[in-house]
Amino acid sequence: MTQWNAESMHRLAKLALDAGEVATPEEALELFSRYRLHLHLGAGWADTLAGQACFLTTLNSAVRAFLGGVVISGDLDQVLSVPLYEGRTVRAVTEALGGAVMERPASDLPTLVIGRVTGQLATAPFCIQLSWEGWCAAISPAADDTGLPCAEDNPLSGVAAAALGVNEAFLNVRGDLLEAGHRCVGLSLWHPLAIEDWQTEAHRGPALSYLPKSLWLVGLGHLGQAYAWTLGMLPYAPGERPHLVLQDFDRSEKSNLSTCLLLSEHDLRTRKVRAVAQRLEAVGFAIDMVERRFGPHHQVLTNEPTTALFGVDNTAARRDIDSAKFAKIVEAGLGSGYRDFRNIRTHTFPGAKRASDLWPPQADAQKAVELNDTYEKLAREHDDLCGMTQLASRAVATPFVGALASAMVLAEVVRPLHGGCIHATLDLQMKDLGYRTGSQPVRYQGLHTPHVQTGLQDRQAAVAADAVLDEEVMS
C-alpha cells in the first residue's frame, strides 16, 4: 500500500472510502480513474465573458473530479478575454489546465455542451447544455433545446452554470440520481430563493454594471480560491483591476490540488496566499498578503478593504467576525461528508444574528471521529490508528461545489451595487435545487463596497465593430 495520509488523499475520491465502496485508497483512485467527461464548445460560446467563464470553470473543476480525463472538442479557435486568461488561446489553456483536445466529438462519453448544439451530438446518452442569461444559470438536456438565450452577459452566471453542469455529470457517472441529465435545473443569482419561476424576466436582473473595487479574502483554501477564481472571471477593465488583501497561513499539500482552482503541482509546499497572489498580480490585480491566522485582534485599518469574503472552516475564526469591524462580510460553509458535500450555506453580516451567536464557544469542541469498517481495517493492517483517524476526519470536497458557492457569495456583494437585496442566510443542496431556503431578502442599509464600472460596454462595442467589419469583408 502506498503511504497515504490526510495531506495526500484526493478529497473527492475519498468519498468512496467513506461510503465503504472500496477497501483501500488505491482502489478509490482506480475507481475514479474510470470517470471521464467530454466538453463540447458549440457555436457562439465565446461571444460573452459568461460563456468564457463557463468554459474555464467547467474545465478546471472537471479535471479535478473526473480523473480518467476531460476531452474538449468543437470551436477551439478562440482567444479568451476574461482577466485571468486574457489573450490566451483555448488550446493553450486546455493543455495548461489538464484537458485534452479531441478534434471530433465523442458520443460515448458524458457530454457537456457550451454554446449552440450542432449535429448528432445531442443524441448521446448523456448530453446536457450549459446556459446563462443575466443573473440566471441553467442546465438542460441538449436535445430539448430549452436552454437560456446566453445573450445578457454576467460571468457570475457562467461560473454557476459550469458548477451545475459538472455536478450533473458527476451525479450521472456515480449513479447517484436517475434523473441526472434528463431534467432542467437552474437558479437566479438575482433572486436565489425563486424556485418555480427562477428564470422569469424579473429574476434575470439588471445588466452587470458595477464590480467591487476592493475586497479582503480570509482563507485561501477550497472556498477562498473559488472566490479568487471567480473574481478573475469578472469584466474588470485592464486599468480597473481590484485591490485584494489575501489572508492565509497554510502551505499547499497534494490533497489541495483536488479542491483548489488556482493551485498546480509546482505550488506544492508553498504558502497558498503566495501562490494565489502570484496568479492575480500577473493579470493586474493589486495584492497585499497577510500570512497569519485571522483572530480576535484583527482590526480593519484606514485604506484597507471594508468588505470581506470568508472561506474558513473553523468556528473560532468565524466567531471573530464580530470584532473585526468590517462594514460587510459574506461567508460560506460546505457540507463535509460523502452524503452532504454538495450542500452550501452562506451568511451575510451584519444580519439578524451576530457571528458569535451562530458559532458560540461551545461549538469549537470537535466531535470524536468514528471510523467505519474500511478505516478500521486499514488502521489494523498498517498499525496506524492515528493516521487513519486523521484521514477519516478530512472533508469530502470538490471545486465544482466551491465554484457555485463563490458565485452565490459574490452575488451578495455585487447585487446591492445594482439596487438589489441581500440575504442573511441561504441554504442550497446541489443534488436538488428545489431544496433552497433562506432569510427573506432585505435592502442593504450599510456601507456599500467600493466599486468600479465594468468593462462590458467597451467589449460589446468592440464585438459590434468586429461584426460590422466581418460583414463588410464578406460583402
Q: Quick: pLDDT tens for 74-86.
A: 999 999 999 999 9
Residue 3 lies in a domain: no
Taking alpha carbons only, the member of 62, 204, 206 closest to residue 138 is 204
| Residues 437 and 324 placed together within one structural domain of the fold | yes
Q: Are residues 267 and 360 in the same domain?
A: yes
For residue 268, what is the domain's CATH number? Answer: 3.40.50.720
pLDDT surpassing 80 at residue 171: yes
Q: pLDDT at position 457, please? A: 67
Burial class (CB in 10 A: 0-12, 13-18, 19+), 123: exposed
> What would the grid cell of residue 203 be?
429574476
Q: What is the pLDDT of residues 325-351, one digit of tens each?
A: 899 999 999 999 999 999 999 999 998
Is 268's pLDDT higher than 80? yes
Whether 465 is covered by a domain: the verdict is: no
Regarding whether 214 and 166 lie in a shared domain, the answer is no
Query: Residue 2 above 90 pLDDT?
Result: no
Same domain, 170 and 250: no
333's grid cell: 460553509
What is the pLDDT at residue 299?
83
**Percent of the chain with pLDDT strictly greater than 90:** 82
Residue 187 shares a structural domain with residue 285: no
Is there a single domain that holds both residue 344 and residue 227?
Answer: yes
Q: Are 199 and 237 contained in the same domain?
A: no
Asked, for residue 64, whether it belongs to a domain, the answer is yes
Q: Per the structure block, which three cell numbers stand in for 143?
A: 436535445
| Residue 72 maps to a domain | yes
Tell whether 220 and 254 lie within a shared domain. yes
Q: How far is CA 37 from the centre of its chain?
A: 18
Catalytic residues: 386
d(CA 25, CA 362): 34
Give the sign of the dihedral formed by CA 7, CA 13, CA 18, CA 20.
negative
Same-domain check for residues 75 and 192: yes
| pLDDT higher than 60, residue 113 | yes
Q: Which residue has the cell 467563464?
A: 53
Banded pLDDT at 461 (limits 50, 70, 90): low
Average pLDDT of every residue of the chain: 92
419 falls within a domain: yes
> Residue 254: inside a domain, yes or no?
yes
Residue 10: pLDDT over 70: yes
Q: Are 247 and 184 part of one and the same domain?
A: no
| Distance in angstroms (rounded) separating the CA atoms of residues 17 and 10 | 11
Position 165 in a domain: yes
Domain check: are 192 and 233 in the same one?
no
Range of the domain at 152: 14-203
Number of folded domains in the chain? 2
* 13-50: burial string, b at 16+ Cβ within 10 Å, e else: bbbbbbeeebebbeebbebbeebbbbbbbbeebbbbbb
Confidence check: pLDDT of 458 > 70: no
28 falls in which pLDDT band (50, 70, 90)? very high
pLDDT band (50, 70, 90) for residue 23: very high
What pLDDT is attached to residue 468? 45
Residue 96 lies in a domain: yes
Residue 226 sits in the same domain as residue 193: no
